[in-house]
Structures are given as structure tokens and as C-alpha cells.
Amino acid sequence: MKSYSTEVLTRGLDIKLESNLDQDFGKKIAHNAHGEKLFGCIQCGNCSAACPLSVWMDYTPRKIIAMVRAGFKEEVLTNRTVWLCASCYQCTVECPKGIKITDVMYALKREAIVNKIYPKNFPVPILAKTFYNRVRRAGRVNETTLLINYYMRFNLVKMLSYATLGLKLFLNRRLSLFEKGIENKKGFKELLHPDVQN
């Protein structure tokens, strides 16, 4: 059998081999997002044009759909695009093929969490997990404690830039430092299972 020095042959080249793709990725995400319609994408680009956040993304929503369909799992999950999605649903209502793109983004976020693949030091998944844990503990979220917890994990220094705002809100009695959660927190926890680890 002839041996191929594939690594050497592809080093430094911007080329994607079929063996590096996850062929089931498309089907899996389509299933998790409640719709196989994503295979009907005609790549018209309406979603990217409608998305108010696409200008900050290196892979626009249209590209993400194409990459999901083709199996570019690594690129999609390590990219910050899915975490930049603000769930405004503009893409979903405009798509001429009826693809629920926002739901696809949610499915990708979940896939990233399950696989523990995130863009490095990216704040959005950190907030998501903090939020999740707080709800699990208390049944409700107190914004003050949420944000403090978030900044503690992400970047404590950044929190100081919000100090003035925080103070103003506090003085206008719009911040609560204490918040009672729900009753029967234990039963609530049973509804949900383990804490999301970092």
C-alpha cells in the first residue's frame, strides 16, 4: 500500500480534505434544531443581510449554514459567530426557505457546550453558564449577583467600568442586592440536573 505523507502535503495550505469533515454534523444539528429544512438552503444570503450583528462576524449566518451542512464542525464551533447571535429572529422571519436559523444557532451553542469547544476567552458563553447556574440554585436570577458573578469569572477589572452606572441605579432604588428565590428550591433542582461545569 502506498503511504501518503498527508500531513506534509497539506501543511500550511488552506485546503479541506473530506476526511477532516464530520459528515454527520449537518444531520445532527438539523435534528437538534427541529428541522431538516436547513438542507434546502439556497445560500441566498438574506439572513446575513438581515442580521444586525453579521458585520461583526467572520462567518456570517449563511456561511454557518453552508458549513454545518458540509460538516465543518471544528470551524463552526470554535468561531464566535454562534455566540454573537442575539436571537432577534430577523433571519428566521426573512428566510425564503423557511429555515429556522435562530434555532440552528441554539443547537450549535448547545453542541459547543456539550463538546466543550468555545472560542478562547469569549465572554458570552461565560455569561450563559453563570446565568444557568444561578437559576438552578435559586429559581430566579438577581441581576446584581448575576453580573458580579459573571465579571468575577470573566474579567473583574471590566466590572469597575460599570461602577458608576451601578451606583446610579442603586441610588435610584433600581438595584436589588438581595432577592428571594422560589420556594422548594430542591424540587426545582430536581427538574434540572447537574451544574454546567466550566
Partner 1 sequence: MKYMYFPGCSLKSSGRLYEQSLMAVLNRMNFTIHEIENWNCCGATTYMSINENYAIEIASRNLALAERQGGDEIIVPCAACYMGLLKTQNYIATDEAIRTRVHRELAKTGLSGNLTIKVRHPLDLFVNIIGLDAIKQHVQAPLKGLKVASYYGCQLIRPFSTFDNVWDPQTLDMIVKVLGGESLYWPLKTRCCSGSMTSTMPNIGSRMNFVLLQNAKSRGADVIITACPLCQFNLECFQGKLSKQYREDVRMPVMYFTQLMGLAFGLSEKELGLNRMLSPALSHS
Partner 2 sequence: MTTNHEIRTGFYICHCGHNIAGVIDVMAVTEYAAKLPFVVVSRDYKYMCSDPGQELIQKDIKELNLNRIVVASCSPLLHEATFRAATAKAGLNQFFMQMVNIRENDSWVHEDKEMATLKAKDLVRAAIHRVAYHKALEKKKVPVNPDVLIVGGGISGITAALTLANAGKKVYLVEKDPTIGGYMAKFDKTFPTLDCAACILTPKMSAVKEHPNITLWSYSEVTKVDGYVGNYTVQVTRKPRYIIEDLCVGCLSCIDACIYKEGKFPSEFDVGLSKRKPVYIPFPQATPLVVVVDRDTCIYFKTGKCPQSCAKACDRNAFDFNQQPEVKEIQVGTVILSTGFKTFDATRAPYYGYGRYPNVFTSLEIERLVNASGPTEGHVLCKDGREPQNIGIIHCVGSRDEKTNKWCSRVCCMYSLKLAHLLKEHTGADIYNFYIDMRTPGKGYEEFYDKLLNEGVHFIRGRVAEVSDWAITHVEEGKLVIRVEDTMIGVVRRIPVDMVVLSVGMEPGDDAQELRRLFNISCSNEGFFLERHPKLAPVDTFTDGIFIAGACQGPKDIPDSVAQAGAAAAQALALIDTGYVELEPNTAFIVEELCSGCRVCVTMCPYKAISYDEEKHKASINEALCKGCGTCVAACGSGAIFQNLFDDEEILSEIKGVLVE
Closer by beta carbon to partner 2, 54 or else 102: 54
Site map (CB under 8 A) of partner 2, residues 123-162, x = contact? ----------------------------------------
Pick the closest to residue 64 from 50, 49, 43 (CA basis). 43
Which range, of 22-30, 60-68, 79-87, 120-128, touches partner 2 by CB under 8 A? Answer: 60-68
Q: Does 86 bind partner 1 (CB under 8 A)?
A: yes
Q: How many CA atoms lie within 13 A of 79 on its CB side?
A: 20
| The one among 21, 49, 53, 66 contacting partner 1 by CB under 8 A | 53
| 96 binding partner (options partner 1, partner 2, none; Cβ < 5 to 8 Å by kind) | partner 2
> Cα angle at 127 between 122 and 132, to 5 degrees?
135
| 184 binding partner (options partner 1, partner 2, none; Cβ < 5 to 8 Å by kind) | partner 1
Pick the closest to residue 80 from 49, 103, 111, 56 (CA basis). 56
Pick the closest to residue 115 from 29, 19, 16, 23 (CA basis). 29
Q: Which residue has the cell 471590566?
A: 158
Provide the residue count of the chain.
198
Closer by beta carbon to partner 1, 75 or else 139: 139
Query: 179 with 135: CB under 8 angstroms?
Result: no
The least CB distance from residue 140 to partner 1, in Å, is 5
Q: Which residue has the cell 422571519?
A: 93
| 175 binding partner (options partner 1, partner 2, none; Cβ < 5 to 8 Å by kind) | partner 1
Separation between Cα atoms, residue 79 and residue 125, nearest integer Å:
12
The least CB distance from residue 5 to partner 2, in Å, is 32
| The one among 56, 96, 152, 156 contacting partner 1 by CB under 8 A | 56
Q: Among residue numbers 62 through 121, which ones bind partner 2 (CB under 8 A)? A: 62-63, 90, 94-98
| 193 binding partner (options partner 1, partner 2, none; Cβ < 5 to 8 Å by kind) | partner 1
Pick the closest to residue 154 from 181, 175, 131 (CA basis). 131
Q: Does 119 bind partner 1 (CB under 8 A)?
A: no
Pick the closest to residue 93 from 85, 102, 84 (CA basis). 102
| The one among 30, 41, 48, 125 contacting partner 2 by CB under 8 A | 48
